[in-house]
Amino acid sequence: MERMSLRKLGKSDLMVSPVGLGCWQFSRGKGLGGKQWPVLQDDEIEKIVSLSLEGGVNWFDTAESYGNGESERTLARALRKAGKSADEVIVATKWMPLLRTAKSIKKTIDKRLESLGGFRIDLHQIHLPTSFSSTQAEMKAMAQLVKARKIRHIGVSNFSAKKMRAAQDALSRHNLNLSSNQVRYNLLDRKIETNGILDTAKELGVSIIAYSPLAQGLLSGKFHDNPELIKERSGFRKYMRAFKSKGLEKSLPVIEAVKELAEKYLVTPAQIALNWVLQFHGEMVVAIPGATKPEQAKDNADAMKFKLTQDELDHLDEISSPFKN
C-alpha cells in the first residue's frame, strides 16, 4: 500500500507528518482542561509517544492551557526518554488569550520554553480568537518573537475566515506568513467547508490542522455498537448531542460507510475516517488525533500507511454531506 509522505506546513519550512499527536490528554488532571481526561501514568505516556514516533509521527501539539504547562513538561520528558532531540521532532504549542492582552505573549514565552525543557517552539499559536487585544497586536508580538528567535513560525486556532485574513495581513507587514489555523474538522463536522475557513486557507496558503479528527472517538463506531459505553467516560463527551440517541442515529450512515471500507482495507474504522481527513483536500489538511492508550497511538499513525481511492473519498464525502452545515 502507498504511504503518505511529509507535508509542508503553510509557507513555512516545517515538513510535518500528515498525522501529528495531540497532547491535551497529557495534562495529568491539572487545570480545568486536565479534568477532561483520565490521569495517564508516565509509562503510558512514554509508550504513546514512542509508538507515535515509530509509526512516522514527527510532530506534537500541546498548549499552555493543557494543565498549566503540565502537558508541555510531560511531552518533553517523554521525548527525551525516547532519545529525541530538538532537531529530530517538531513541537507546536499555544498561548491562551482569555482575559489577557498581547503583551502576555512575550511575557510568557520564557515559561513556555522552560516547560518544554530544551525543545524548540517550532509553531506558536494563538489558542482562541478572543482576547483584550486586537489580532494585529497579537501578530506583532508573535513577529517580535520570531525575530528574537524565541519561536520559529506562527499559527492560530479556532480563527474565523475574517480573523485569519486579518492575522495574515498583520504578519505580512513584518514579512512573515501565517502557517496554520487549527480547527475542529472531521467527517461529522465539516463546517469549515461552508463558512469560508477552508476557502480562505487555500487562498492564503495556510494549512488546516484538524483537531478532533475522529469526533471524540465517535467515528470509531464503538459508541454506535454499544451506546452504554458513553456513560462510563469521563469529561464532556457524555453531554454532547452527537452522543445522544438522535445524534447516533444521524451519524449511523457515515459509520456504516466507514466500517465497510475498514473491512476492505483490513484496518479500523477510525483509520478510514482519519485517512479521509488527510486526503480529501490534497495536502493542505493535517490532523492531530489524541491518544489515551498506546494502541490508539499506533492506530492513528498507521492511518498514514495507505490511501483511499478518489472514488472512496468521494463516496464518504457524499454520505457525510449533511454535516457540512
Residues taking part in catalysis: 66
Alpha carbon of 135 to those of 94, 167, 195, 201: distances in Å?
15, 6, 20, 17
DSSP state of 61: E
Identify how many contiguous H helices and E strands the chain contains and give both numbers.
12, 10
The three cell numbers locating residue 300 = 492513528
Going through the chain in order, the beta strands assigned E by DSSP cover: 7-8, 15-16, 21-22, 59-61, 90-95, 123-126, 153-157, 178-184, 207-211, 285-287
CA dihedral 100, 102, 104, 105 (to 10 degrees): 130
What distance in Å separates the CA atoms of residue 5 and residue 294, rounded to the nearest whole number? 23
Query: How many CA atoms within 13 Å lie on the side-chain side of 262?
Result: 20
Sign of CA dihedral 156, 159, 163, 168: positive
